[in-house]
Amino acid sequence: MNPIVIQVLAIIAIFYFFIILPGQRRVKKEKAFESGLKVGDKVITKSGIHGKVSELSDTTVVIETMAGKIKMEKSAISLEMSAKLLEKEKEKK
């Protein structure tokens, strides 16, 4: 087999394992997080708004904040920041 073909295949494999596969895993985690939301969960949005889930629908969520209620897309809720918030609350208990 030609050495250039082997190098191209190696580059494609590296690209897949280091770029595409982790991206697919992250998307799966975010979808699971969005589908696992329930009323009463404390969350942080990607824009930094803290609140509690008060209503849910297929694609939107109503977040209750100290200033009132805000309706937004489920995809606007940050998986990473909400997970950190839950860890902090567990440490307090």
Give 55's strand partners. 62
Distance (Å, whole) CA 28 – CA 12: 23
Residue 2 has pLDDT above 90, yes or no: no
Neighbour order of strands in the sheet with 42-44: 42-44, 50-56, 60-65, 68-73
Q: pTM of whole model > 0.85?
A: no
Q: What is the pLDDT of residues 54-91, one digit of tens each?
A: 999 989 999 999 999 999 999 999 988 888 888 888 78
